Copies of this chain bind each other. A is one copy, B any other.
Amino acid sequence: MESLLNHLKTYYPISREAIGALADCLQEKTYAKSDFLLKQGRVCDHFYFLQHGALRGFYNINDKEITHWFAFENTFVSSFHSFTTGQPSIENIQFLEGSILWAISRKQLTGLFDQFHEIERLVRIIYERYYVRLEERYVNAQFKTAAELYNNLLEQSPHILERVPLGYISSYLGITPETLSRIRKQR
């Protein structure tokens, strides 16, 4: 829990009372490699903080899996679409490693929003940052070649390559496993 609270501070500091109320809502959960945190068709009614481990979010489209994000320790995780709209999820979330996370339900979170303006502000700021990151990623994908994307990934997030099977990474980059394998060989 300590690492979560420290992480929150980097976005917006909240009062002791708010921290206490938040802590009361958090539930610790443990999962094994390959478990699913969420399957498509179900509503995602929790917001998570990944304390330790790794996950991926993927869509099942035309019999193909499209991995569109990875998460590692000290990040927030949810099926954003499903969590915020309350509609069934179109994405799946699966563990790449044994993991530990903290969960809060939508109901509890909205309750905290009502009780503590500052918690809603904190979350608003978190959303902002996540939006900006997504935008960056998108623009990159739009004008870079597969090789450039891969090399950028190598520089910026070398840990991904050690912890994630190549097939997922290629999907994440929007290319086939064969193409990624060939790009890799060239270096």
Contacts and interface: CB of A to CB of B under 8 A. Distances in A.
Contacts of A139: 59, 66, 68
A15 interface: no
Nearest to A62: B143
A68 B132 CA distance: 13
Interface string A66-106: 10100000000000110011000000000000000000000
Report how many copies the assembly holds: 2
Contact of A123 (B84, B124, B132): B124
Nearest to A142: B174
Interface string A115-139: 0010011011001111110111111
B81 A143 contact: no
Given A131-B127, A134-B134, A135-B134, A143 B80 contact: no
Contacts of A123: 124
Contacts of A136: 81
Given A80-B132, A141-B141, 13 more contacts: A66-B143, A81-B132, A81-B136, A84-B128, A84-B132, A117-B117, A120-B124, A127-B128, A127-B131, A130-B131, A134-B138, A138-B138, A138-B141
Closest 8 CB pairs of A and B: A124-B124, A84-B128, A117-B117, A142-B174, A127-B127, A138-B138, A81-B132, A131-B131
